[in-house]
Chains A and B, each alone.
Chain A
Amino acid sequence: MRTRFALIVSTLFLLIPVWALDSGGATATPSNVGSPYLISSPSPAPLGGGAVSALQSSNLLNPNISVVGWFQGEVGHPHDPGQTPEPVLQLKETEIGFQSIVDPYAKADFFLSFDREGAANLEEGYITWFHLPQDLALRTGKFRSFFGPFNRTHPHDTPFAIRPLSERNFLGEDGLSAAGAGLSWQVPIPWLFVNLDAEALRPPVVSDTPSFDRAERRDLLYTGRVNSYYDLTEQSNISFGGSYAYGPTGQQLNGIGTSSDTLHTQLYSADLTYRWKDPARAIYQSWLWQTVLLWSKHEIATNSTVNSRGLFSWVQYQFAQRWAAGGRYDYSQFPTDNNSHEYGGLVFLTYSPSEFSHLSLQGSHFKRSDEVDENIGYLRIVFNIGPHGAHPF
């Protein structure tokens, strides 16, 4: 399987330039591929006309830069076994994004994040060829996996002060992100949007993603996702999907200690999202409801598997131009333990002075796995500067 996949990916890489040129057509003049219609940002053209200096000319080719700040305050007594309590006040995350068109065929995205101590981490850095033949797109680099509808979303882009329990317990505090390659294919059905994704990734370590742990250098983590979208009415629509991941989760030495077997985890996920928004009053009112189920088959020894599960379901109601409220229910077991679980919920009220800043009061109540009640209140402030990004959907 590994060899075949490597062969397919290698062939795709070799053929990219040929396909991309071919798909553009012989008369294509891609003189404007840096247009804001390919990247969600203003064109850096000089304002008010006039000659473009040499310095400005070089600026035209610079990537778009955006910065997101996530400040968070907490009151209460955190009780999360195995986790260090977060500070009362913190700049939880700062993210710097660089995005640009690479050439007529590809776009690149880099996201550097800094934690509250200022430690830098390359959250994502990848190139995407969007316009391959047969409705294919190819992404390679380090990126957040398309496992489930939630994992791709950067934490500051979600409405929550803390990630859902099942996402944290199975995919990690920051979600499943790894180096690798992914193919995306839009199924050519004229009246229904269906997309298939397949990825091969370098497995993360267990301290980052509890479900997986790289064992041997050659081990890969495979994921697959199918998702579909359907307009129920002009106001309402549903998305539904299923995801699968298969990867190593450590090794077990055999009886005499001269060889070892790689243990594996299989993750399954199903999701459903319902949205409502009247286009004639789009800026004032909307509903969103999403539920994500997750099942895990985690090998803890040869011929010994722990089957565990988790879910979260949340609703958000935007009731005025700048106001939204919502709540989330969480339930989760653990990859290596299905005899204990934790559950609870979170409510939030968010005020957005503009599209570019959000202030949110949140409260959570969780019954932890050791039966201790945890109650925490949050003040969450997210703000960003830089080019106008795409509106969330």
Chain B
Amino acid sequence: MNVKKTIVLFVTVLLLPVLGWTKLQVVTTTEDLAAITREIGKDNVEVTSIAKGYQDPHFVDPKPSYLLRLKRADLLVVVGLELEVGWMPPLLQNARNSKILPGYPGFLDASDGCNVLQKPTGSVDRSLGDVHPLGNPHYWTDPENGRIIAQHVAAKLSEIDQPHASQYDAGLKDFEDKLSAKEKDWNKLVESFRGVKVVTYHNSWPNFAHAFGLTIVNHVEPKPGIPPSPSHVRSLETQIQREKIPLILVEPYFDEKLPAKIAADTGAKLLIFPPSVGGVKEIRNYFDLFDYDLKLLNDAVGGKK
């Protein structure tokens, strides 16, 4: 084989992955946004998420390999509200892709227009823990916010890929129809445990509680991002016993040893409670997320609140 053929072969091998880039390339920061985008974009988009569903989205390493995905992205969808502030800025700065910068057509902050809870009204400092000054960023756990995200994603896809706009509109209609049908089922299911008191590990669930009628009375973390101290654990155990709180919900990426001990000490039930698509293998899309979590709740306290 002569030198010229060797070079042609080498370059071809290098460029093989490019052949798969005929679809619109979408990168999302979380699996939830990826799942919604896939529902809208269907076969016209190739969607990858940076954070996995079983990963704490506050703490993702800004690996250079993510730059390779961001560099060729046509659209970047972020949760926003500074959820990704610890890892997205260096990735975005170094991705060398002007299309997906904030303010440009290829950037979408999914929090726009969503019902964001717990926006601080006074001064904010770090004595409050790792607090988010723009509001609680776990808003996708309310399916009605999922609807708003889907509407924004559909509009954005239509804007940057106009030839397929009608297909994105159809994808959005399918998503909304399915979501409306699912919401009827979910609302029926939650009637048996509406108002149940729960303790959660991190402050990840205000939107979920708002949507499905849970009452969150405390957290295992004394403040967001701060590990529990012995005095906080003692106080929490007293509260759980005094108020007969039946459930402790723990996100899959937190160590369950301490919550398990609190559960054992107090008689509460511990549930590993995924907040994201991909948190466990059974949750493959956005609808599965609520099917799975609400079934967990129903199995644990349905009719026993």
Distance, CA A47 to CA B124, complexed state (A)? 9
Distance, CA A391 to CA B56, complexed state (A)? 13
* A-side contacts of B87, CB under 8 Å: 390-391
Q: Write the chain B residue with the least CB distance to A188.
A: B71
Answer whether A30 and B90 are a contact pair too, CB < 8 Å, given A25-B99, A280-B54, A354-B225.
no
Establish whether residues A231 and B121, one from each chain, have CB atoms under 8 Å apart when the complex forms.
no
Answer whether A283 and B56 are a contact pair too, CB < 8 Å, given A25-B104, A28-B105, A130-B96.
yes
B107 to chain A, nearest CB (A): 8
One of A23, A41, A130, A277 near B94 (C-beta < 8 A): A130
Per-position 1/0 for A354-393, Cβ under 8 A of B: 1110000000000000000000000000000100111101
Establish whether residues B17 and A190, one from each chain, have CB atoms under 8 Å apart when the complex forms.
yes
* B-side contacts of A192, CB under 8 Å: 68
* B-side contacts of A30, CB under 8 Å: 101, 103-104
Per-position 1/0 for A263-302, Cβ under 8 A of B: 0000000000001010111111000000000000000000
Establish whether residues B103 and A388, one from each chain, have CB atoms under 8 Å apart when the complex forms.
no
Establish whether residues B88 and A37, one from each chain, have CB atoms under 8 Å apart when the complex forms.
yes
* B-side contacts of A230, CB under 8 Å: 65
* A-side contacts of B72, CB under 8 Å: 190
Distance, CA A181 to CA B125, complexed state (A)? 38
Distance, CA A17 to CA B56, complexed state (A)? 39
Q: Write the chain A residue with the least CB distance to B227.
A: A321
Whether a CB of chain B sits under 8 angstroms from the CB of A36 is yes
Whether a CB of chain B sits under 8 angstroms from the CB of A48 is yes
Whether a CB of chain B sits under 8 angstroms from the CB of A51 is no
Q: Is the interface of B mostly helix, strand, loop or mixed?
A: loop
B166 to chain A, nearest CB (A): 21
Per-position 1/0 for A297-327, Cβ under 8 A of B: 0000000000000000000000001100000
Answer whether A282 and B59 are a contact pair too, CB < 8 Å, given A36-B85, A48-B119, A107-B93.
yes
Q: Write the chain B residue with the least CB distance to A136.
A: B96
Answer whether A282 and B55 are a contact pair too, CB < 8 Å, given A229-B64, A354-B226, A390-B87.
yes
* A-side contacts of B86, CB under 8 Å: 40, 355, 388-391
- Interface residue ranges of B72-124 to A (CB < 8 Å): 72, 78, 82, 84-90, 92-94, 96-99, 101-105, 107, 119-124
* B-side contacts of A29, CB under 8 Å: 103-104
Whether a CB of chain B sits under 8 angstroms from the CB of A7 is no
Whether a CB of chain B sits under 8 angstroms from the CB of A122 is no
Whether a CB of chain B sits under 8 angstroms from the CB of A189 is yes
B303 to chain A, nearest CB (A): 33
Distance, CA A191 to CA B68, complexed state (A)? 7
* B-side contacts of A231, CB under 8 Å: 63, 65
Q: Is the interface of A mostly helix, strand, loop or mixed?
A: loop
Establish whether residues B56 and A282, one from each chain, have CB atoms under 8 Å apart when the complex forms.
yes
Answer whether A355 and B225 are a contact pair too, CB < 8 Å, given A30-B103, A37-B88, A282-B55.
yes
Q: Write the chain A residue with the least CB distance to B51.
A: A279
Answer whether A190 and B90 are a contact pair too, CB < 8 Å, given A36-B85, A48-B120, A282-B55.
no
- Interface residue ranges of A37-82 to B (CB < 8 Å): 37-43, 45, 47-48
Distance, CA A388 to CA B81, complexed state (A)? 13
Distance, CA A131 to CA B252, complexed state (A)? 38
Answer whether A237 and B103 are a contact pair too, CB < 8 Å, given A39-B89, A355-B225.
no
Establish whether residues B59 and A283, one from each chain, have CB atoms under 8 Å apart when the complex forms.
yes
Per-position 1/0 for B112-150, Cβ under 8 A of A: 000000011111101001100110000000000000000
Per-position 1/0 for B7-19, Cβ under 8 A of A: 0000000110110
Whether a CB of chain B sits under 8 angstroms from the CB of A153 is no
Whether a CB of chain A sits under 8 angstroms from the CB of B288 is no
Whether a CB of chain B sits under 8 angstroms from the CB of A33 is yes
Establish whether residues A388 and B54, one from each chain, have CB atoms under 8 Å apart when the complex forms.
no
Answer whether A38 and B102 are a contact pair too, CB < 8 Å, given A47-B119, A48-B121, A282-B60.
yes
Whether a CB of chain B sits under 8 angstroms from the CB of A121 is no
Whether a CB of chain B sits under 8 angstroms from the CB of A339 is no
B9 to chain A, nearest CB (A): 16
* A-side contacts of B107, CB under 8 Å: 32, 37
B182 to chain A, nearest CB (A): 28
* A-side contacts of B97, CB under 8 Å: 131
Establish whether residues B105 and A280, one from each chain, have CB atoms under 8 Å apart when the complex forms.
no
Answer whether A32 and B102 are a contact pair too, CB < 8 Å, given A137-B96, A354-B130.
yes
Whether a CB of chain A sits under 8 angstroms from the CB of B52 is yes
Establish whether residues B59 and A391, one from each chain, have CB atoms under 8 Å apart when the complex forms.
yes
One of B14, B78, B82, B98 near A25 (C-beta < 8 A): B98
Establish whether residues A27 and B126, one from each chain, have CB atoms under 8 Å apart when the complex forms.
no
B87 to chain A, nearest CB (A): 6
* A-side contacts of B17, CB under 8 Å: 190-191
Whether a CB of chain B sits under 8 angstroms from the CB of A336 is no
* B-side contacts of A136, CB under 8 Å: 96
Establish whether residues B98 and A131, one from each chain, have CB atoms under 8 Å apart when the complex forms.
yes
Whether a CB of chain A sits under 8 angstroms from the CB of B267 is no
Whether a CB of chain B sits under 8 angstroms from the CB of A35 is yes
Whether a CB of chain B sits under 8 angstroms from the CB of A207 is no
Whether a CB of chain B sits under 8 angstroms from the CB of A31 is yes
Whether a CB of chain B sits under 8 angstroms from the CB of A151 is no
One of A38, A137, A237, A355 near B89 (C-beta < 8 A): A38
Establish whether residues B227 and A322, one from each chain, have CB atoms under 8 Å apart when the complex forms.
yes
- Interface residue ranges of B255-296 to A (CB < 8 Å): 255
* B-side contacts of A321, CB under 8 Å: 227
Whether a CB of chain A sits under 8 angstroms from the CB of B61 is yes
Closest 3 CB pairs of A and B: A32-B103, A35-B102, A229-B64
For the complex with contacts A29-B104, A38-B89, 4 further pairs of A-B residues with Cβ separation under 8 Å are A33-B103, A47-B121, A283-B253, A388-B82
Binding site for A on B (CB under 8 A): 14-15, 17-18, 52, 54-56, 59-65, 67-68, 71-72, 78, 82, 84-90, 92-94, 96-99, 101-105, 107, 119-124, 126, 129-130, 133-134, 225-227, 252-253, 255
Binding site for B on A (CB under 8 A): 20, 23-25, 27-33, 35-43, 45, 47-48, 104, 107, 128, 130-132, 135-137, 186, 189-193, 195, 229-231, 237, 239, 275, 277, 279-284, 321-322, 354-356, 385, 388-391, 393
* 9 CB-based A-B contacts, threshold 8 Å: A24-B104, A25-B99, A30-B103, A37-B78, A48-B121, A186-B96, A190-B15, A230-B65, A283-B56
